[in-house]
Amino acid sequence: MADQRLLIVAVALPIVIVGAFAFTLFSSYFYTSVERLEEGIYVGYLAQDIDLTDLDGNFIRLGDYRGKVVVLEFSATWCGTCKAQLSVLKTLYNEYSGDDVVFITVDVDASEEMLRQYRDSNDIPWVVAGSREAGVIYGVYSLPTIIIIDKDGVIRFRQSNYVDYSTLVKVLDELV
């Protein structure tokens, strides 16, 4: 009887250990949560957190907008395509700003004075900040660059150069 128990333990114990090891090893392939995602700058990654100070002197941390969809635009005041993109963003802002959607423009090149003048002359109603560092962190090499981050902080869209209205509406409608 004791030999039979010892045999059962000797066979069952390795099976349980191997099963637990396999579960631990392979569960990451079948289970994905926001907390387990790596931070990054591309679609599917948890958005890299950046700290900004807007033109009104308010401290902004991108991660503080969890629970909201974020439309993050990297631009420059001298960029002609960015000015064309601005009209699309204004239309989207008027349509989505009350639906837990936040718009942030980060200028990667202008002085604070130039940026303030640009914001005021173009009647930009959302957060505007200047940060060359944020552009470097997000690997922005072409302007404008639009990044849309979902309510869980995951990047769901990224495109450089002009992005048309219908493309952005499609993305926002899926996330709101």
- Give me the percent of the chain exceeding a pLDDT of 70: 80
- pLDDT at position 1: 60
Long-range CB pairs of 129-135 (<8 Å, 24+ gap) are 129/52, 129/53, 129/54, 129/55, 129/60, 129/104, 129/105, 130/55, 130/106, 131/50, 131/52, 131/106, 131/107, 132/108, 133/50, 134/50, 134/52, 134/74, 134/106, 134/108, 135/74, 135/106, 135/108
Weakest mean pLDDT among 33-37, 89-93, 149-153? 33-37
Cβ(175)–Cβ(156) below 8 Å:
yes
DSSP lists the bridge partners of residue 104 as: 72, 127
Alpha carbon 94 to its chain's center: 21
| 15 three-class SS | helix
- pLDDT at position 23: 42
Closest CA to 139 of 117, 120, 164, 158: 158
Task: Tell me 154's DSSP state.
Answer: B
Cβ within 8 Å of residue 176, ≥6 positions away: 69, 96, 99, 100, 101
pLDDT, tens digit (0-9, with 9 covering 90-100), for 42-78: 999 999 999 999 999 999 999 999 999 999 999 999 9
- pLDDT at position 85: 98
**Angle, alpha carbons 119-125-127 (nearest 5°):** 75
Weakest mean pLDDT among 12-16, 19-23, 96-100? 19-23
pLDDT beyond 90 at 98: no
Catalytic residues: 79, 82
DSSP per-residue codes, 43-89? TTSEEPP-EEEBTTS-EEEGGGGTTSEEEEEEE-TT-HHHHHHHHHH
